[in-house]
Amino acid sequence: MWKNILIIAVLFSLFGCDTRTIDPEDAKYAWLHVYYTDNLIYEEVLDETDDSQTYILNLPDDSQITLDKFVNIIYPVIPDQGEEEISRSYIVWAKKADYYTQFAQGNYLDTLMINASGGFTPVIPGEVCGTIYTTSHIPFTNYEFYILQDSVVVDSITTSSNGYFDIDIAFGNYQVCEADFFDPEYFEEFNIDSFYDDYIVIGVSYEEKPNIYIYPEEQMDLDVNIIFPHGGEVTASIPNYKGGWKNLSIESSGKINNEFSFLFYESQNPDLCQYEEGWIVAQKDLENFFIQNLTETGFEGQEIIDFTDYWIPLLTDHPCYAIYPQYNEQLSKMVELEFSIKPDNLLRLIYALEGQQDDSIILSEPEIPDFKREGFYVVEWGVSFRNAEQYSFSD
């Protein structure tokens, strides 16, 4: 049952031991360890078949926990070089009667650990409480949103580092909105009808101002279509998209229809971005960062000027920004570009941005894919905001 729709920001923590020094190509699995009072009482090897499996474990105190196991596919950010290589993230939810969910996550060769004698958040009698997860089974963490009645704020919810919340509120029909994005346009229904529930959220991403620059070796006529493999729509475009850009006249200089320097669009589509690799950059350093990063990625000249002229004046709301790059393969899961004549080389980069108060979160360093400006080539840049995503709640 749908619970509500809201604007919400995403921040999550990863759990698990250090990766062991084994080539993951030779060993695509992880370990699950369950402890009770510091004693290992259960262990299991998690392999690629463990998605959506449930196991009930009896504990020494005659209670039980339920282990729900999931495998998330992680798509590569490096352009395809033949057979597609993918990795997997292993996730375990541990649920205990009258307690809220414990969470563990890891990748190949990590050890996921559950503490069966502690680490669970007890349910508070008479209060509404829950744990909030993404569709990828990751908890939403340290996030606040408002609960309203008749467009008036009556309370708020803040999730913990494990996505847990509790609130003293009566059952009923409410509205909800993201605390940092208080706008009546996004007040949505939120129906509370139980004390104890887990909530899954379905993400929708908004890609803002992607610019597509097209460079044929000689003048060509070209059709360009935008495909949404998992649903979505173009919400703005120049020139008018109208279900496809048809019979465009492209000069070798990149001029389109003797008028435009690039194709522009914005879209709404499912959020399948990666939020593990990226950089934390102070607001004052953003311009230098983007100039250097865009250059290293393969953009040049006016493409970089267009980006910084548009975005730098807008990125002033936070002391720091988390910047998560989405390259060709990641983007193709959300928004595909289809050309009537296939480019020899294609470079796509959308920066998923999230405002931060400081640089305390730690991200893995991304690997910038190789790109050559040779033959008939196309480059695209754009931005999406993690704190401007729309979600639907279901229990």
> Is pLDDT of 88 > 80?
no
- Banded model confidence at residue 26, pLDDT cuts 50, 70, 90: low
Lowest mean pLDDT among 26-35, 80-89, 100-109: 80-89
User: How far is Cα 209 from Cα 215, in angstroms, rounded to an integer?
Assistant: 19
User: How far is Cα 5 from Cα 390, in angstroms, rounded to an integer?
Assistant: 7
345-359: pLDDT as tens digits? 999 999 999 888 888
User: How far is Cα 173 from Cα 186, in angstroms, rounded to an integer?
Assistant: 16
What are the tokens at 206?
A: 């908004």
Same domain for 213 and 153, yes or no, is no
pLDDT at 65: 93
Of 174, 194, 214, which residue is a domain's last?
Answer: 194
Same domain for 324 and 189, yes or no, is no
Same domain for 136 and 215, yes or no, is no
- Banded model confidence at residue 84, pLDDT cuts 50, 70, 90: very low
Question: CA of 284: how far to CAs of 303, 321, 330, 361, in Å?
Answer: 21, 10, 29, 18
Same domain for 27 and 78, yes or no, is yes
pLDDT at 78: 35
pLDDT at 395: 53
Of 194, 216, 249, which residue is a domain's last?
Answer: 194
Domain range for 82: 1-194
280-313: pLDDT as tens digits? 999 999 999 999 999 999 999 999 999 999 999 9
Give the mean pLDDT of 91-101. 87
pLDDT at 162: 78
Inter-residue contact 283 to 242 (CB < 8 Å): no
296 occurs within a structural domain? yes
395 occurs within a structural domain? no
pTM score over 0.85: no
